[in-house]
């Protein structure tokens, strides 16, 4: 980890320092991905099976997992793992249940009733990446809010072979359909539908560069599907003071670094001593880490920033807008009012990122790559739409008539005006009759 | 308006009937727009002034309106117009004030505190189109929620000459900076900033094909800016029964049709008699409409759908997912539970769309083009970010340790596990000491 002193940098150097590396590959693969999407739209299941055979080397042609297969998979999951998944489920469900909105109804003036309602998005698609280890937590984080929001249809797809734990978690969350398919072809199938795969309205979940590009492309097409949020490499920024436990800080930095070689890891501290102690702890812990090779790559592009004080540390964090922000200081909550842009904030020595990644109750799907300046942590609201309802009485319309007709005149919209004056004429006739 | 009987169509014909026409032009202009964006990023104010001179034929080189100019403009606005704008302002502010979220705090288990907070997006940019008539209502609908959300900086731009009413409304809403510039160059200037124009984090507002394409392009670049929602032609669907007033229905259809030649207008009714009566009323009102030429073009591609009953009318509306949905039936509220996808719903004979367009209190910025299936009516939430905060006590971490370490094992993430076990070791040592 490179160490810099914030106050030895000019404003341009500071800007450069906090600028994330450009994401690679998107351009090279976008034409491949658009070809895949076009073929899925044209040939449906046939293309889907061919891509699955070619990319995932699975040729049994089974796309949707049948009830019997689901049941068998659930039975193979160990009781200990079922306990863990159940425990995480309860906490995540509790926190997302609490996010249920209450309908809003305001009478802005006599006879003018304005309401804000929410409705679940009808059909959602969840993408769970494959790979060596089953991402059980991703299933819970994506499917629990969909279930609580009341989405009519919840489709999940994951590349073959789909791990038993994923099937168990999906079943627990009430997922309606599970498909064994991955990559850009899976995103295309959910966005447009095929003979077998149900079309969805919105797609959620992480993925590799192909999946990310496919999500981007289908979200650009109004016939396609909306997506959860733009994707980027995972990242953590830790603000720590001289009293922080170097081993805890090192462990938190490493648990981000092991995610992937492109993970971003930043330590900001007013204490040069802590910075050194953390470096040593990182090296020591790295030596006995299973995914040391990946973590080392991530650390090579990572940063330690030594600054004046915690106030300046907050300014630096707001400028960087991290996905995860860990605050290990004597009074972590005291900094909260100064912290602006972050996806999720972890306060104090006993709150490692991994509790939020798995089981505390918060969602681990968060805006990366600086998107925390405008994007939100995934929550119930992302599975719902807000819409307004209004109802006026005749008296209510009378009270608004002059204002509406004057503004319609100013905007040169005669029919907008007529829609009001015509009604007023009828009211006046009724009054005279 | 073409009239069809829903029950004489097969499912494919029904799908076709409700499919919106493809938006024209986007492809042809995307390279022009990306050139403009590239030049603004490279040359800043210089390019901005040259584009303004070329496209808007204004060469005074004045980009930002100075306080003196703003004050003079406000003084030129008539008292009657100020009353109207003030009246609309109060209702819109009241409805958006009521949308302020309350922070959420849940202890999911002993010592595990999970919170959902919101924070205003720091810097927002509002685009108000130019043209023959000043879009005062657009200023109110975009700027009032920005003000209430507490955005640090609110930038507004509109093509020269900026009408006095727009300046008055913007000043009333507390807009921080007003720039006289339009088109793709204005979007680029706000997304990336120039010597004069402040960079913003998110851009809101309607515009022509160039503005829409520029918003799309800057939202694809993480260095650019987020945008409010995808854009499409404005549209209304009216559900009316035999008791509806044909003149009211016709006036509402026409007030949508006059927006532009590409406006979509749909009437769905179980009553063939009403359908005929509305057609006649439309022709009669069209004859005396200032913007008759535009409205006629829109009506030429519009639809009247005769169906079995109101339940089927709701199914058709949900399938179409209109921006505006007007319900003129004996018991309009009774249909609300059946109505799924719409941007804003207007209930009853005394609730024309124009009250929501201007002054009832709801926002007139709504998802078009079928996006109402997943996108929301613009509201306070669009000017804020939601983020989570969590804080565990040592006891809280103990209670989660087994679950988190088991799931980290399952996902093969050793450092995630270590971040917990290391802390448990320290706790155990403390306990023994």
d(CA B432, CA B417): 23
Are A100 and A119 a contacting pair, CB within 8 Å?
A: no
Q: What is the pLDDT of residue A27?
A: 65
User: Residues A165, A235, A258, A323: which is the catalytic one?
Assistant: A323
Q: Which of B144, B376, B231, B188 is nearest to A381 (CA)?
A: B376
Active site residue A324: yes
Q: What percentage of chain A carries pLDDT values higher than 70?
A: 99
Which tokens hold the place of A92? Answer: 């995540």
Average pLDDT, chain A: 94
B327 CB-side CA count, 13 A: 25
Cβ of A386 within 8 Å of Cβ of B392? The answer is no
Residue A222 has pLDDT above 90, yes or no: no
Is B344 labelled as part of a ligand binding site?
Answer: no
Region of poorest pLDDT, from A28-32, A160-164, A309-313, B143-147: A28-32
User: Residues B96, B324, B353, B364: which is the catalytic one?
Assistant: B324
User: Residues B165, B323, B353, B364: which is the catalytic one?
Assistant: B323
d(CA B416, CA B396): 17
Q: Tell me the per-residue pLDDT of A138-173, one tens digit each, with 9 for 90 and over.
A: 999 999 999 999 999 999 999 999 999 999 999 999
Closest partner residue to B361 (CB to CB) among A114, A349, A356 is A114
Is A13 labelled as part of a ligand binding site?
Answer: no
Cβ of A385 within 8 Å of Cβ of B374? The answer is yes
Q: Which of A154, A194, A180, A173 is nearest to A37 (CA)?
A: A194
Q: What is the pLDDT of residue B423?
A: 97
For residues B388, A121, B122, B233, the Cα torsion angle rounded to the nearest 10 degrees is 170
Partners of A238 on chain B (C-beta within 8 Å) are none
Cβ of B354 within 8 Å of Cβ of A387? The answer is no
d(CA A81, CA A391): 52
Is A137 labelled as part of a ligand binding site?
Answer: no
Q: Tell me the per-residue pLDDT of A339-383, one tens digit each, with 9 for 90 and over.
A: 999 999 999 999 999 999 999 999 999 999 999 999 999 999 999
Nearest CA in chain B to A290: B414
Partners of A95 on chain B (C-beta within 8 Å) are 106, 108, 114, 116
Is B411 labelled as part of a ligand binding site?
Answer: yes
A53–chain B nearest CA distance, Å? 25
A38–chain B nearest CA distance, Å? 17
Q: What is the pLDDT of residue B232?
A: 85
Residue A132 has pLDDT above 80, yes or no: no
The set of residues, in sequence order, having a beta carbon less than 8 Å from that of B201 and lying 6+ positions away, is A373, A374, B121, B122, B123, B124, B225, B226
Nearest CA in chain B to A97: B106
Which tokens hold the place of B3? Answer: 């009239």
Nearest CA in chain A to B282: A415
Q: What percentage of chain A carries pLDDT values higher than 90?
A: 85
Q: What is the pLDDT of residue A108?
A: 98
Is B16 labelled as part of a ligand binding site?
Answer: no
Q: Which of A197, A149, A147 is nearest to A175 (CA)?
A: A147
User: Residues A324, A340, A353, A430: which is the catalytic one?
Assistant: A324
Cβ of B222 within 8 Å of Cβ of A370? The answer is yes
Radius of gyration over every alpha carbon of chain B, rounded to an integer in angstroms: 26
B48–chain A nearest CA distance, Å? 24
d(CA B428, CA B426): 5
Q: What is the pLDDT of residue A386?
A: 97
Within chain B, how many helices (H) and strands (E) appear?
16, 14
Partners of A404 on chain B (C-beta within 8 Å) are 354-355, 357-359
Task: List, edge to edge, every strand of the sheet that includes B344-347.
Answer: A104-109, A112-120, A384-392, B344-347, B324-328, B235-240, B264-269, B303-306, B2-5
pLDDT of chain B along its 433 residues, tens only?
A: 899 999 999 999 999 999 887 766 556 799 999 999 999 999 999 999 999 999 888 877 789 999 999 999 999 999 999 999 999 999 999 999 999 999 999 999 999 999 999 999 999 999 999 977 889 999 999 999 999 999 999 999 999 999 999 999 999 999 999 999 999 999 999 999 999 999 999 999 999 989 999 999 999 988 999 999 988 889 999 999 999 999 999 999 999 999 888 888 999 999 999 999 999 999 999 998 888 888 899 898 889 999 999 999 999 999 999 999 999 999 999 999 999 999 999 999 999 999 999 999 999 999 999 999 999 999 999 999 999 999 999 999 999 999 999 999 999 999 999 999 999 999 999 989 8
The set of residues, in sequence order, having a beta carbon less than 8 Å from that of A224 and lying 6+ positions away, is A191, A192, A217, A218
Q: What is the pLDDT of residue A25?
A: 56
Partners of A381 on chain B (C-beta within 8 Å) are 381, 386
DSSP per residue over A246-294, as a string?
A: HHHHHHHHHHHHTT-TT-EEEEEES-HHHHHHHHHHHHHHHHT-TTHHH
Q: What is the pLDDT of residue B26?
A: 56
Cβ of B390 within 8 Å of Cβ of A252? The answer is no
Residue A323 pLDDT level (bands cut at 50, 70, 90): very high
Are B416 and A249 a contacting pair, CB within 8 Å?
A: no
Q: Tell me the per-residue pLDDT of A107-121, one tens digit each, with 9 for 90 and over.
A: 999 999 999 999 999
Nearest CA in chain B to A385: B376
Partners of B112 on chain A (C-beta within 8 Å) are 91, 355, 360-361
Which tokens hold the place of B137? Answer: 């209502």
Q: What is the pLDDT of residue B20?
A: 86
Q: Tell me the per-residue pLDDT of A260-288, one tens digit each, with 9 for 90 and over.
A: 888 889 999 999 999 999 999 999 999 98
Active site residue A323: yes
Partners of B346 on chain A (C-beta within 8 Å) are 390-391
Task: List, edge to edge, every strand of the sheet that includes B202-204.
Answer: B177-180, B153-158, B123-127, B202-204, B226-227
Mutating which of A419, A422, A425 best tests the B interface, going by the most B Cβ atoms within 10 A? A419
Q: What is the pLDDT of residue B262?
A: 87
Q: Tell me the per-residue pLDDT of A171-196, one tens digit each, with 9 for 90 and over.
A: 999 999 999 999 999 999 999 999 99
């Amino acid at each position: 980890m490179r160490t810099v002193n914030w106050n030895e940098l000019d404003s341009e150097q500071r800007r450069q320092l906090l600028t994330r590396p450009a994401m690679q590959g998107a351009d090279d693969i976008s034409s491949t991905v658009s070809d895949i999407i076009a073929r899925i739209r044209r040939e449906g299941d046939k293309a889907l099976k061919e891509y699955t055979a070619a990319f995932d080397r699975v040729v049994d042609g089974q796309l949707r997992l049948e009830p019997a297969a689901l049941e068998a998979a659930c039975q193979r999951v160990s009781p200990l793992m079922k306990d863990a998944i159940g425990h995480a489920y309860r906490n995540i469900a509790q926190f997302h249940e609490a996010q249920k909105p209450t309908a809003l109804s305001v009478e802005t003036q006599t006879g003018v009733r304005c309401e804000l309602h929410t409705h679940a998005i009808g059909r959602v698609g969840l993408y769970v990446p494959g790979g060596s280890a089953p991402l059980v937590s991703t299933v819970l984080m994506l499917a629990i809010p969909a279930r609580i929001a009341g989405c009519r249809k919840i489709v999940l797809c994951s590349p073959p072979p789909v791990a038993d734990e994923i099937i168990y978690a999906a079943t627990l969350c009430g997922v309606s359909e599970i498909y064994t398919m991955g990559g850009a072809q899976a995103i295309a199938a959910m966005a447009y539908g095929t003979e077998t795969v149900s079309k969805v309205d919105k797609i959620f979940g992480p993925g590799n560069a192909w999946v990310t590009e496919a999500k981007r492309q289908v979200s650009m097409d109004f016939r396609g599907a909306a997506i959860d949020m733009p994707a980027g490499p995972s990242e953590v920024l830790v603000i720590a003071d001289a009293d922080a436990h170097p081993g805890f800080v090192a462990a938190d930095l490493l648990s981000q670094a092991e995610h992937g070689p492109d993970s971003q890891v930043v330590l900001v501290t007013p204490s040069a001593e802590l910075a050194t102690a953390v470096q040593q702890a990182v090296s020591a812990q790295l030596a006995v880490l299973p995914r040391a090779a990946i973590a080392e790559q991530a650390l090579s592009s990572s940063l330690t920033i030594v600054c004046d004080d915690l106030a300046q540390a907050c300014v630096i964090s707001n400028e960087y807008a991290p996905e995860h922000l860990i605050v290990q200081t004597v009074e972590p909550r005291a900094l909260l009012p100064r912290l602006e842009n972050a996806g999720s904030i972890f306060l104090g020595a006993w709150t490692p990122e991994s509790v939020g990644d798995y089981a505390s109750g918060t969602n681990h799907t968060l805006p990366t790559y600086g998107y925390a300046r405008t994007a939100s942590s995934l929550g119930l609201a992302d599975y719902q739409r807000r819409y307004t309802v209004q109802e006026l009485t005749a008296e209510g319309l009378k009270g608004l008539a002059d204002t509406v007709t004057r503004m319609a005149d100013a905007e040169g919209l005669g029919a907008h005006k007529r829609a009001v004056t015509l009604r007023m004429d009828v009211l006046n006739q009724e009054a005279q009759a």
